[in-house]
Structure 1
């Protein structure tokens, strides 16, 4: 009950701050208040607007906000977001562009399950959509998943990726961003042994902790300093009565958000002070730079307790991927079995989350892959966010990734059979399971 009470207390605090902001905004907006010649009234109203918006965003899943894309014909084409495979802990969704022929490049974008929704990759999606038939993993908020659906740890995550790859067929190109990079590598190796014909054509790993000890950061140091018992006691709580997942053990999104903000508290404090002043002066707008960033940044989701703990214990502490000792469903996954999936790693020179050296370690583990199918790129001056969504991604990395995909899009022959066509049987089986 203690863990549930703590969860409900955090939600109560969020609700209270949202209400205080809304109340201040309503009070300051009364027409009679305009008669009071005191700038404090404008400041109170601005504080209420910013506060109410901020705390409301913490409990809402952002919309993709992608309405259309310009096609090769120069016309705007409507984008439909369709669920291809529906599962308890996450869906495979397709950005289907109406009136456009299916694109030659078929890409699966694997989004992180690290506190934010898949919409964190919105700008990545927007940049790829004109040139690719694009799919993405859309992970669910653990607080909304009933306990009856069972557990979800790093092995389950890996098997979800395996099912998604099987569904999409062997001509898919996979791009994994940050946290899922080691598990996506493991899923590919799993397919190499269990179902070689379902392997993707290429695998691009962007800023992921394949070997966290290769270049230690504050994130890896924290994982090594704290024991698993301390981590469970301090981070894991049970979902309260307000949500469908009542009783489920989770690492709450609100607790994660407090950690995110604490890492750069001074810059966040300044950003909110500046925004309140802009609102008070009438210089802010609904979709200005501040709101666009924080509407996404503040929208957090709970992750299952077993996924968080198993990630820390097995990926960061035990280094199971780095040591090639990862086990899925009782079977050791040998990354050396990947022999014909082209693998590219991308790192940022100034990445302070997955520092240079952590991701490129994947190429060392691919002992069965010829050098001609390995590629790596270190982006000068780029931080973590920049390598998948910032200027570095748009101007330098994205063109390189698309070139890598094109260079590895030819037909593949496995055991004397052409595997250029997706497996219809696999699609039907996965849909039925979903």
Structure 2
């Protein structure tokens, strides 16, 4: 159980840093220091507050924080989050808008399981709610899932998506962001072969590694440099004693966070230095831009070891999706069987996680689709986060995606009812 001690040691380090921050904040905030006109105490208090908050966030699941949405009638409508399917490793949730009629657009957002909670898509959900009925895959933290609930690997993830799509029906528009893009493509192909009537109306893939070899990044280089044995030795640990999932093998969220930060270390260090100075001057705020971003960014979750390792091996090393040889429960998933689901890919020109070309590879795999049912967009100057949650998404990508939904919803209705295309003479 060496991994348990590593996991608990890492948690102890996090806990200690949280305590150091709280202690520094409390000590430097004593009124008596007002008699000593030295800025050190304000800086120390600011450092303590930011350090305490940052390390505390790492074990807190963020709230969705979406409480109202403005309807077509100009009134605020309450938002009620409901669980439609509850499963051990993830739920299908709906953002129900009270007092509003069902919307013609219904969207399933497939959230990434790559270290952050599904709330990473909070702004994406908020931007779609005024125009769509929105459903989201809400993945659970592996450290909170007892070992008795069994395994969860890439095939289980695919079958979860298949179940969610079947439940929502064929008029649903599926939008997969980042990590789940190849799995959402595989789930759609699985339905095309096993249950064609349950296929979604459209599939939008945003910044996902369909073919990691199409454009190298630090993420793909990491997968190439190390063997599966080395990766397992370096990052897989047993969940510690105080969690419900004690003993479960996971890729810990804290390790993932360290790798995220290391990719842009200078930028993060500068952001925290600037925030400490602002706090010392009294210019910070509870929900300022820094805290809004890092409250979400620092909140991380563990992934099951089998999911992480099977993703690395099958998506990145063996490229099973890119080579169209992915199997689920021994059944070949042929992406070429997708013939009635319009597919759109969205990429960011400056994306350093899923570089341009990786996601666009999906269109070449959809050999059963005519070109009229394929669409793509490369957003100039946009990084990974911006293509689904930033200014680029709000101003440019979201309108294109909504138009893609509408065009292909109408096209699907015409294909199902060919008499509608006959003009009266």
Q: CA deviation at 1:41?
A: 1.3
TM-score where L is the length of structure 1 = 0.94
1:253 lines up with 2:253 in the alignment = yes
Query: Any residues of structure 2 matched to 1:238-387 within 5 Å, and which?
Result: 238-387=238-387
| 1:9-158 matched pairs, under 5 angstroms | 9-158=9-158
Q: TM-score, normalised by structure 2?
A: 0.96
| Partner SS state of residue 409, structure 1 | helix
- After the TM superposition, which of the residue ranges 30-39 and 390-399 deviates more from structure 2? 30-39
Cα distance in structure 2, aligned partners of 1:198 and 1:137: 18
Evaluate the alpha carbon distance shift between residue 127 and residue 212 of structure 1 in structure 2; reply closer, same or farther with a 3 A threshold.
same
The 8 Å contact of residues 144 and 243 in structure 1, kept in 2 or not, is answered as yes
Call closer, same or farther: CA 1:415–1:151 in 2, change over 3 Å: farther
Matches within 5 A, 1:163-312: 163-312=163-312
2: CA distance, partners of 1:403 / 1:113 = 27
CA offset digits 1:3-32 (Å, max 9, x no partner): 110000000001111111111112222222
Output the CA distance in 2 between the equivalents of 1:171 and 1:411: 12
Aligned residue pairs: how many?
418
- Take 2:240 and 2:100, find their aligned partners in 1: how far apart are those partners? 45
Describe the superposition over 1:166-224 as per-residue Cα deviations: whole angstroms up to 9, x where unpaired: 11011100000010000000000000111111110000001110011111112111111
Whole-angstrom distance in 2 between the partners of 1:283 and 1:134: 37
Name which of structure 1's ranges 146-155 and 408-417 shifts more when overlaid on structure 2.
408-417
Residue aligned with 2:213, SS: coil
* Structure 1 residue 38: Cα displacement: 2.1
Give yes or no for contact 2:336–2:367 (8 Å, CA) kept in 1. yes
Deviation at 1:35, TM superposition (A): 2.4
SS state of the match for residue 114, structure 2?
Answer: coil
Aligned ranges 1:376-415 → 2 under 5 Å: 376-410=376-410, 412=412
Q: Any idea what SS the aligned residue of 2:343 has?
A: strand
> Distance between the aligned counterparts of 2:276 and 2:416, measured in 1?
66
Aligned counterparts of 1:101 and 1:175: Cα–Cα separation in 2: 22
Instruction: List runs of 5+ in structure 1 lacking aligned partners.
Output: 419-434
**Aligned equivalents of 1:82 and 1:416: distance in 2?**
32
Q: Tell me the secondary structure at the aligned position of residue 82 of structure 1.
A: strand
User: How many angstroms apart in 1 are the aligned matches of 2:38 and 2:387?
Assistant: 47
Superposed displacement of residue 410, structure 1: 3.5
Deviation at 1:346, TM superposition (A): 0.8
Greater mean deviation of Cα atoms: 105-114 or 24-33: 24-33
Equivalent residue of 1:24, what SS? helix
141-150 vs 264-273, which moves further: 264-273
8 A Cα contact 1:197 1:414, kept in partner: no
- 1:139-178 deviation digits (Å, cap 9, x = unpaired): 0000000000111110000000000001101110000001
Say if 1:347 and 1:355, in contact at 8 Å, map to a contact too: yes
* Contact map agreement 1:196 1:414 (CA 8 A) in 2: no
Once residues 276 and 187 of structure 2 are traced to their aligned partners in structure 1, the CA distance between those partners, rounded to angstroms, is: 46
Change (3 A) 1:211 1:348: same
Following TM superposition, the consecutive aligned residue runs of length 4 or more in structure 1 with deviations greater than 3 angstroms are 410-418
Q: C-alpha separation between the residues in 2 aligned to 1:416 and 1:103? A: 21
User: How far apart, in 1, do the equivalents of 2:382 and 2:276 lie?
Assistant: 30
Deviations 1:66-98 (A, max 9, x none): 110100000111111111111000011101011
More displaced, 402-411 or 169-178?
Answer: 402-411
Q: How large is the RMSD of aligned CA atoms in angstroms? A: 1.5
